[in-house]
């Protein structure tokens, strides 16, 4: 037994007040905004039931997980988005795992972990050794991350020449970027609906972005690009821990030739850097790109498949940064037949209905 084990205790529902929990998650190397209390509040408003488990060393949380539970026709799934908040070889894992399993097995047909760990063979082997099976990811496992620590001149130099030119073109041609407030959320919703019509995807209701803004509070940043005072594009960025994450973007048809989206991203990176963030996460590129980068292949040689993120890949890659991939989703199954109904048959039926 480890020498400090008598000081440790497992606490559940929750192991700490929101502020203490968020401080733990923000400081931990495996922490992510999807493990924050803000994300739990947002999802709770959409029908998910959140709870937490944590392992304490005295007054300090040393490992933990925030779980979201939602019932489906096949049964409930206990889901840990970008968690648990611990390292794969963390000595607190056995206690944390026991607490997670004890409650998840009572409430759900399976426990799904989606750790914020790099996709490397050792991590995969560790997860498999825990009796977990690989599953379909819920969140995009592959992304582009820009290191914000170099000087601004170096960040610009790392962009593709056309992107650097477009950033400067937008600034010269009258595009101005400011940080919006609650009053700009309606504008964001209108721009998002216009983007969805143009690009052929189903946008969330405007109320969702309002709810996200309220849930994240000061961590939410809405940047709006304007031409002569008219809003032409906007992005929603979350600052949490060492990262700023670009979650949602929208643009109208007007003034697209002025390249407002390029200046928006550049200003978001600059302001995140000024705010002390060390990374800018573009949040989602085709997973084939991430798998290729993990395997040491050239992403430009990857054949395109049916993944719907190829358009955003073309845009995001131009800002420099590195392609990264986390290890994806892994399930521990408690009721195999109901698990199949919840994770395989149910989604197939929903997709078929959506196509009809």
Fold: same for 5-140+326-355 and 143-325 = yes
pLDDT at residue number 193: 92
pLDDT at residue number 6: 40
Give the C-alpha separation, 311 to 297, whole Å.
20
Q: Give the CA count within 13 Å in the CB-facing half-sphere of 48.
A: 18
Quote the radius of gyration of the chain (alpha carbons, Å).
Answer: 21
Under 8 Å between Cβ of 104 and 61: no
Give the C-alpha separation, 340 to 129, whole Å.
22
Q: What is the pLDDT of residues 182-215, one digit of tens each?
A: 999 999 999 999 998 888 777 888 899 999 999 9
Residues with pLDDT less than 70, the chain: 1-16, 306-308, 345-356
Give the C-alpha separation, 307 to 287, whole Å.
8
pLDDT at residue number 342: 77
Under 8 Å between Cβ of 148 and 280: yes
Q: What is the pLDDT of residues 142-165, one digit of tens each?
A: 999 999 999 999 999 999 999 999
pLDDT at residue number 5: 39
Q: Name the CATH superfamily for 5-140+326-355.
A: Gcn5-related N-acetyltransferase (GNAT) (3.40.630.30)
Q: Give how far Cα 356 sits from Cα of 205, 344, 350, Å.
A: 21, 19, 10
Fold exhibited by the domain 143-325: Aminopeptidase (3.40.630)
Domains of the chain, residue spans:
5-140+326-355, 143-325
pLDDT at residue number 1: 29
pLDDT at residue number 7: 46
112 burial (CB, 10 Å; 0-12 / 13-18 / 19+) is buried
């Amino acid at each position: 037994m480890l020498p400090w084990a008598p000081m440790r205790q497992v606490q559940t529902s929750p192991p700490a007040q929101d502020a203490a929990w968020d401080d733990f998650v923000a400081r931990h190397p495996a922490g992510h905004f999807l493990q924050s209390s803000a994300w739990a509040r947002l999802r709770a408003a959409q029908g998910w039931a959140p709870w937490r488990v944590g392992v304490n060393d005295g007054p300090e949380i040393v490992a933990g997980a925030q779980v979201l539970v939602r019932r489906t026709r096949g049964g409930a799934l206990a889901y840990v988005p970008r968690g648990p908040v611990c390292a794969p070889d963390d000595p607190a894992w056995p206690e944390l795992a026991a607490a997670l399993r004890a409650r998840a097995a009572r409430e759900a047909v399976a426990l799904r972990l989606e750790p914020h760990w790099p996709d490397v063979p050792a991590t995969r082997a560790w997860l498999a050794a825990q009796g977990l099976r690989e599953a379909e990811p819920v969140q995009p496992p592959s992304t582009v991350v820009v290191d914000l620590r170099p000087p601004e001149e170096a960040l610009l130099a790392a962009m593709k020449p056309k992107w650097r030119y477009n950033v400067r073109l937008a600034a010269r041609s009258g595009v101005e970027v400011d940080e919006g407030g609650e009053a700009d959320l309606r504008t964001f919703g209108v721009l998002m609906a216009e983007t969805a019509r143009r690009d052929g995807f189903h946008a969330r209701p405007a109320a969702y972005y309002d709810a996200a803004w309220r849930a994240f509070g000061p961590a939410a940043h809405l940047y709006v690009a304007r031409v002569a005072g008219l809003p032409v594009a906007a992005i929603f960025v979350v600052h949490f821990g060492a990262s700023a994450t670009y979650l949602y973007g929208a643009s109208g048809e007007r003034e697209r030739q002025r390249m407002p989206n390029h200046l928006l991203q550049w200003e978001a990176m600059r302001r995140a850097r000024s705010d002390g963030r060390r990374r800018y996460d573009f949040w989602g590129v085709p997973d084939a790109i991430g798998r290729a980068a993990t395997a040491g292949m050239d992403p430009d040689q990857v054949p395109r498949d049916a993944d719907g993120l190829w358009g955003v890949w073309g845009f995001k890659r131009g800002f420099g940064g590195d392609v990264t991939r986390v290890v994806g989703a892994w399930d521990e199954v408690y009721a195999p037949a109901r698990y199949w109904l919840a994770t395989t048959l149910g989604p197939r039926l929903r997709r078929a209905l959506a196509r009809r």
